[in-house]
């Protein structure tokens, strides 16, 4: 699974920076929000430099990317479940055939004398 670049809304960035400016440690906020500390430092510099013009992009809500990640995981697990169900069905069929004597037969012909 490749890495994808996450995008955050202006509101998210401002809230994260305000958490740091309120006295919480940078490392703790970064861990809580699952961010790299360097990203949070950059956001703080940009916010302190020009508050009104900071973070002009639209971004993408973190929840949306989390939802997409969970949907991908559900799809992957569904495929795995379907595969395992088919394998289990084949194993049960093989066991049933071997119990009833309908198992694999020899391809060698018996020789008559």
Confidence category of residue 99, pLDDT binned at 50, 70, 90: confident
Give the residue numbers spanning the domain of 14.
1-60
Question: Which pLDDT score, from 0 to 100, does residue 43 have?
Answer: 87
Which CATH number does the domain housing residue 2 bear? 1.10.10.10
Confidence (pLDDT) at 111: 63
Check whether residue 38 and residue 85 sit in a common domain: no
Same-domain pairing of 32 and 66: no
In the predicted structure, residue 72 carries a pLDDT above the cut 70: yes
On whether residue 111 sits in a domain, the answer given is no
pLDDT for 86: 93
Are 56 and 1 part of one and the same domain? Answer: yes
Long-range contacts from 23-30, C-beta under 8 angstroms, 24+ separation = none
Query: For residue 28, what are the contacts with CB-CB under 8 A and spacing of at least 6?
Result: none
Per-residue confidence at 57, pLDDT binned at 50, 70, 90?
low
Residues 67 and 84 occupy one common structural domain? yes
CA separation for the pair 19, 33 (Å, rounded): 11
Give yes or no: residues 16 and 27 share one domain: yes
Q: What is the C-alpha separation between 8 and 57, in angstroms, rounded? A: 9
Q: Give the helix/strand (H/E) hosting 18.
A: helix 10-21
In percent, how much of the chain has pLDDT > 70?
75
């Amino acid at each position: 699974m490749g890495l994808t670049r996450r995008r955050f809304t202006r509101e998210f960035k401002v809230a994260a920076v305000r958490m740091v400016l309120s006295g919480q440690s940078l490392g703790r906020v970064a861990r809580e929000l699952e961010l790299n500390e360097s990203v949070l430092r950059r956001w703080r510099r940009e916010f302190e430099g020009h508050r009104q013009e900071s973070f002009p992009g639209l971004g993408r809500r973190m929840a949306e990317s989390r939802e997409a990640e969970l949907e991908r995981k559900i799809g992957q697990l569904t495929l795995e479940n379907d595969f395992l169900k088919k394998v289990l069905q084949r194993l049960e069929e093989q066991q049933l055939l071997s119990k009833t004597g309908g198992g694999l037969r020899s391809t060698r012909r018996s020789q008559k004398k």
